[in-house]
Structure 1
Amino acid sequence: MATLTLERLRPEHAPAVLAFERAHRAHFARTVPDRGDAYFTPAGFAARHAALLAEQDAGVCHFHVALEDGTLVARVNLVDVADGSAELGYRVGADATGRGVATAAVAEICRLAARSYGLTTLTAATTLDNPASMRVLTRNGFTPVGDTVLSGRPGVRYVRRDLTA
């Protein structure tokens, strides 16, 4: 795997993020709800990107792009930041799956969460039919804490309480 870096989402990432989301739309729709046609229009995407940046500026979320040699290969986000915790979410492009990208990106976001954002706990959830995501979470120190339902599909919730380990 090439060197993976995480960058905090910025306005200038918009073209690459839209291209990434368009290129991998069908891939993502297999495991997470589709964003809907409006998201992929120039106006719809611009509005959503601006809204994400506003949430980030307000401190309630931390959005990141994961780059390999300058190419966007994944997105990694911390949402609903409150009281030292946040919910982790990530998506990896089809051409980057199976190469350790998600594991490396989640490891890095755990370090950033503690070091840069002062977080102590992260939660995450995945569907039961996504064993790759379950492996990513357990490899990064997350433990299962209960069942959940994600978009009508059975899933499991995870937590990682010690981000400094």
Structure 2
Amino acid sequence: MPELQRLRLDHAPALLAFEQENRAYFAASIPDRGDDYFSHFEARHRDLLAEQAAGLHFFHVLVGGGGEVLGRVNLIDVADGSGELGYRIAERAARQGLATTAVHQTCALAATEYGLTMLRAVTTVDNAGSRAVLARTGFVPTGETLLGGRPGICYERDLSGLFRAPVA
């Protein structure tokens, strides 16, 4: 079973391979990262780790048994008890429940480790898989938006009561 790990410097080669191998697959349902992302990947990776260390974002990778990255789940723009959830799963690992499991795990980390009480997420209207993952993991639609010029749906997930012991 793949393991959700907090992003580290040594994940860079496997993460870059994941992004390159799945670029066209991802671009079919979410805005493309652009050539600049790949051209400056190593410097960007170090910058993201510094931002993570400062508590601005929390980045995670879903790592398979051979050390390959099968997905990523990020919490960005963390402030005032909330953050934005984003995730992507490799084409070869899609439709196996990995996104749902990883999002559940990230919600638990957000509530218990990072002290967050609210998460936001956005997906394109035509991304049925992502909409299903968000619904299965307790996110509710809150409105419409544009995502990279494409129609999108905004979601929220209240974490305030999550993982608290029941009151006797």
User: In angstroms, what is the RMSD of aligned CA positions?
Assistant: 1.1
Q: Runs of 4 or more off by more than 4 Å in structure 1?
A: none
3-state SS of paired residue (2:73): strand
Q: 1:142 aligns with which of 136, 139, 146?
A: 139
Q: 1:62 aligns with which of 40, 52, 58?
A: 58
Q: 1:46 aligns with which of 34, 42, 45?
A: 42
Asked if the contact 2:141/2:154 (under 8 Å) is kept, the reply is yes
Q: 1:81 aligns with which of 74, 78, 83?
A: 78
Deviation at 1:159, TM superposition (A): 0.4
Q: Which amino acid aligns with 1:86?
A: G
Deviation at 1:57, TM superposition (A): 1.1
1:92 aligns with 2:110: no
Q: Which amino acid aligns with 1:7?
A: Q
1:114 aligns with 2:114: no
Q: 1:30 aligns with which of 22, 28, 31?
A: 28
Asked if the contact 1:76/1:106 (under 8 Å) is kept, the reply is yes
When normalised by structure 2's length, the TM-score is 0.92
When normalised by structure 1's length, the TM-score is 0.93
1:151 aligns with 2:121: no
Q: How many residues align?
A: 161
Unaligned runs of 5+ in 1: none
Q: Which residue of 2 aligns with 1:16?
A: 14
Percent of aligned pairs sharing the same letter: 55
Unaligned runs of 5+ in 2: 164-168
Deviation at 1:71, TM superposition (A): 2.7
1:124 aligns with 2:121: yes
Q: Which amino acid aligns with 1:131?
A: A
Q: Which amino acid aligns with 2:79?
A: A
> In the aligned structure 2, how far is the partner of 1:35 from the partner of 1:147?
22
Asked if the contact 1:9/1:53 (under 8 Å) is kept, the reply is yes
Asked if the contact 1:4/1:104 (under 8 Å) is kept, the reply is no
> In the aligned structure 2, how far is the partner of 1:35 from the partner of 1:153?
15
> In the aligned structure 2, how far is the partner of 1:121 from the partner of 1:5?
24
> In the aligned structure 2, how far is the partner of 1:68 from the partner of 1:136?
20
Asked if the contact 1:4/1:105 (under 8 Å) is kept, the reply is no
> In the aligned structure 1, how far is the partner of 2:121 from the partner of 2:133?
11
1:103 aligns with 2:97: no
